[in-house]
């Protein structure tokens, strides 16, 4: 309990450390956008880069210096106690395929979570208390602290107010499993006839913060991982949006429908 009080008092400082870590990793991404990439793993719909690991290690070093007691959970594995009172949730490159193909639409995502109750609690008992998303190619940094407003480059942001699908831009993600693809494709076809535009830009985290910023009106994904949504979900809620998600039972995997709060009854998860 004493640790929780101490962390709460230092959230601004911890968030600043996360911003610094994200920008340091982002600078590495920016330098290597047009470089030849070395892949550690290549699957039908995904690529894991050696640079993913380098960025993860860089972020881990800075975060562990700032908060040694916290674990680090992410796409590259778990560092520290998996049951720690606090954990950092990190995606060092969200949008890896984009980045691999020299498409400058990717970001660094860092969230701080703690065990406890609250409206933002995940099924395993953690809630996000701080979120940072950094796009090094557009030089955009989104931040939020639980219970506080969301910001983009220091300016307060809020979700859009569109409530008619015909006027909306909706992002939808296609994940890697065949089952998910087959379930999502018919809904994609249905939704495309109802909205102004559908966008699939290749970064789940950026889709979330684009909803938070009023650029998109909603984002739908049938299979998404914790590190893709932990920071962006808090930022969206802090910007007045609705971040609905449900565990699929697989490790750190969720179904998700994020929106400006006006569209929930008009949308569904395929």
pLDDT tens-place string over residues 12-30 = 999 999 999 999 999 999 9
Q: Which residue has the higher pLDDT, 269 or 251?
A: 269
Q: Give the chain's count of helices (H) and strands (E).
A: 7, 15
What average pLDDT does this structure show over 74-91? Answer: 90
Query: Which pLDDT band, with edges at 50, 70 and 90, does 77 fall under?
Result: confident
Short-list 125, 62, 117, 65, CA closest to 90: 62
Q: State how far the Cα of 221 lies from the Cα of 200, in Å rounded to an integer.
A: 11
Q: Band of the pLDDT at 179, cuts 50, 70, 90? A: confident
pLDDT value of residue 26: 97
The number of angstroms, rounded, from the C-alpha of 191 to the middle of its chain's C-alpha atoms is 23
Q: What is the mean pLDDT of the chain?
A: 90
Q: Are 175 and 97 in contact (CB under 8 A)?
A: no
Whether the per-residue pLDDT at 85 is higher than 60: the answer is yes
Q: Which among 123, 114, 129 has a CA at the least distance from the CA of 4?
A: 114
- Tens of pLDDT, residue by residue over 218-234, are 999 998 999 999 999 99
Q: Specify the residue for token string 């050696």.
A: 50
Longest dimension (CA), the chain: 54
Model confidence, pTM: 0.93
pLDDT over 90 at 175, yes or no: no
Q: With pLDDT > 90 as the criterion, what percentage of the chain qualifies?
A: 71
Alpha carbon distance 267, 270 (integer Å): 9
Mean pLDDT of 119-128: 79
pLDDT on residue 200: 94
Quickly state the pLDDT bin for 2 (edges 50, 70, 90): very low
Assess whether pLDDT exceeds 60 at residue 45: no
In the block, residue with structure tokens 């379930």: 183
Q: Are 6 and 86 in contact (CB under 8 A)?
A: no
Q: Is 118 left (phi over 0), alpha (psi -120 to 50) or beta?
A: left
């Amino acid at each position: 309990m004493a640790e929780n009080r101490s962390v709460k008092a230092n959230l601004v400082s911890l968030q600043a450390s996360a911003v610094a870590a994200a920008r340091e990793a982002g600078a590495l991404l920016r330098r290597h956008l047009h470089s030849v990439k070395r892949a550690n793993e290549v699957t039908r719909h995904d690529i894991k880069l050696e640079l993913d690991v380098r960025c993860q290690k860089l972020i881990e070093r800075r975060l562990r210096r700032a908060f040694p007691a916290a674990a680090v959970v992410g796409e590259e594995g778990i560092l520290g106690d998996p049951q720690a009172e606090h954990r950092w949730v990190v995606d060092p490159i969200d949008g890896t395929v984009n980045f691999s193909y020299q498409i400058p639409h990717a970001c660094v995502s860092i969230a701080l979570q703690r065990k406890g109750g609250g409206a933002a609690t995940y099924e395993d008992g953690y809630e996000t208390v701080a979120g940072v998303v950094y796009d090094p190619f557009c030089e955009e940094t989104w931040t939020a602290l639980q219970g506080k407003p969301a910001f983009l480059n220091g300016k307060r942001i809020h979700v859009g107010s569109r409530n008619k699908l015909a006027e909306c831009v909706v992002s939808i993600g296609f994940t890697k499993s065949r089952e998910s693809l087959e379930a999502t494709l018919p809904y994609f076809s249905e939704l495309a006839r109802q909205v102004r535009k559908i966008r699939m830009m290749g970064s789940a985290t950026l889709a979330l913060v684009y909803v938070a910023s009023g650029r998109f009106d909603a984002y739908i994904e049938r299979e998404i991982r914790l590190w893709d949504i932990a920071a962006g979900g808090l930022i969206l809620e802090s910007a007045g949006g609705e971040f609905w998600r449900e565990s699929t039972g697989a490790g750190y995997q969720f179904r998700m429908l994020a929106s400006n709060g006006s569209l929930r009854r008009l949308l569904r998860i395929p």
